[in-house]
Structure 1
Amino acid sequence: MTIRFAAVSACALLTLAACNRTQEPVAPASAAATPPVESPAIPAADPNALTAEGLGPVRIGMTRADLVKLWGEDSQPNAVGGPDPETCDEFHPAKAPADVMVMIQNGVLTRITLTRGATIKTDRGFGVGDSAMAIKQAYGGAIVAQPHKYQDAPAEDLFAWPHGGATTYVTDPAARGVRYEIGGDGKVMKVHAGDPSIQQVEGCL
C-alpha cells in the first residue's frame, strides 16, 4: 500500500512540475529586409519652356505694364509693330530672351512668338528648326493641321489647344494654344503661344 501511494505521489509531482514549466516563446524567423521601392523620378517642368500660358514669369493675359516690369520696354521703339499700336503692338522687349516677340492687344499680352534664331523650346521639347513629322508623332490626335496661308505644302500650321480649342477658327478669349508654323522644308519657322491671336497670320495687320 505504501509503495503504491508513493508511486502515485511521484506521478502527481511530475505532472505538476510539467504544468508549471514556463515555455520560452519561439522567436519568428527573421524575414529578409525588403528595400523600399523607389518611384521613377519625374523630371520637373522646365521653367524656361514656352507653354500655351506663357514663358517663365510672363503670362498670357497680363497687362503691358506688368510685362514691362519683367522684360522691359520695346527694344526698338521706333519700329512699327502694328498700324495702331494702341490697339495692337508687336515687339521684342529689351530684357526678353533673344528672338522672342510679344503681342499686346488693348493693353494685354495675348501672344508670345519664337522667331528664327530662337533657342527656346516648348514644354513638349519643340522649337524653331524641328520637323513637323516629329511634332505630329509627339502630339498625336491633339494636333490640328491647317494649310499655310502663303506657302504650298508641306508648309502648314499645326495647332495644339490645351484649353478651349477646336478644329475650326477659335474665338473664345479664354482658349490657350500653341501654333507651330511650318515652312516649305517641313520644319518649324516660328512658334506662337497664347490666346486665339495665335491664329493671326500677319501679326497685328
Structure 2
Amino acid sequence: MLNLKNSTKLVALLIGTIVIVSMWATSVNAQTELTENSKLALNGIGPIRVGMTVDEASRATGVRLVKTLSAGRTEEYCSYFEPQGEPKGISFMVINGRISRIDISSDRITTIKGARIGDTEERIFSLYPGQIQATRHPYQGRSPYNGKYLTFVPKDATDKNYRIIFETSKNRVERFRSGKLPEVEAIEGCF
C-alpha cells in the first residue's frame, strides 16, 4: 500500500513526465513549420537548414520557396528565394543549388537568443557576451550606412564555419543574417 508521501512523489513524477512529453511534442511540431515565430540559428531557421536544396526546404516546411533574384555566372550560381506568401522578411541565398545563408528583414523574426531588428548594439553584446566582433560597416559614411557589423562568432568547434551578422545604423539593428562562411560575409549578397 502506498502512503501519502509516496503518493505525492508518484503524482509529481507523473506530472513532470507529462510536462516533458508535451514540451517535446510542442518543439517537434514547431520545427515542422516556417512562421514568424521561427527562430534564426547559426545554420538555419525552423526546419530549414543551411545545405538543403530549395526542394528539400520546401518539403520540410510545406511552404513553397520562389526565386526572387538571380546573379552570377549562371542563374544557378547564386539566387535568392523567399517563401511564397507568409512569412515575410526571410530570404534564402542559394549557391549552386544549396541554401548557404538566411537574411532577415522582418522585425517580427528573432534569433534563438531573442535578438531582432530594432535592438540596440548594447543588447546584442549582452545576448552574446564575449562572442561579438564589432567592425565598421563597409560602406561607413555613405548614407544610410552609419553603423557597424556585429558578428557573432561561435565558440563551439562544430560551428566554426558559421556566423550571425547584425548590421546596425545609429546604434540599432537594421537587418541580420546567418549562414556559412564565406557567403554570410558577402556584403551585397549575390552581387
* TM-score with structure 2 setting the length: 0.70
Partner Cα separation in structure 2 for residue 49 and residue 65 of structure 1 = 21
- Shift of residue 176 of structure 1? 1.6
Q: In the alignment, which residue of structure 2 is the partner of 1:53?
A: 43
Q: Which has the larger radius of gyration?
A: 1
Pairs aligned (count): 161
- Shift of residue 96 of structure 1? 5.1
Letter in 2 for 1:179: I
Q: In the alignment, which residue of structure 1 is the partner of 2:78?
A: 88
Q: In the alignment, which residue of structure 2 is the partner of 1:146?
A: 135
Contact 2:115 2:127 (C-alpha < 8 Å) held by counterparts: no
Q: In the alignment, which residue of structure 2 is the partner of 1:177?
A: 163
- Shift of residue 174 of structure 1? 6.7
Contact 1:62 1:108 (C-alpha < 8 Å) held by counterparts: yes
Partner Cα separation in structure 1 for residue 52 and residue 100 of structure 2 = 8
* TM-score with structure 1 setting the length: 0.66
- The reply to whether residue 161 of structure 1 matches residue 191 of structure 2 is no
- Aligned residues: percent identity? 25
Gaps of 5+ in 1: 1-32, 166-172
Which structure has greater strand proportion?
Answer: 2
Which structure has greater helix proportion?
Answer: 2
Change (3 A) 1:91 1:163: farther
- Shift of residue 85 of structure 1? 2.5
Segments ≥4 residues shifted beyond 6 Å: 35-39, 41-46
Gaps of 5+ in 2: 32-37
Task: Please give the root-mean-square deviation of Cα atoms over the aligned residues, in Å.
Answer: 3.2
Q: In the alignment, which residue of structure 2 is the partner of 1:189?
A: 174
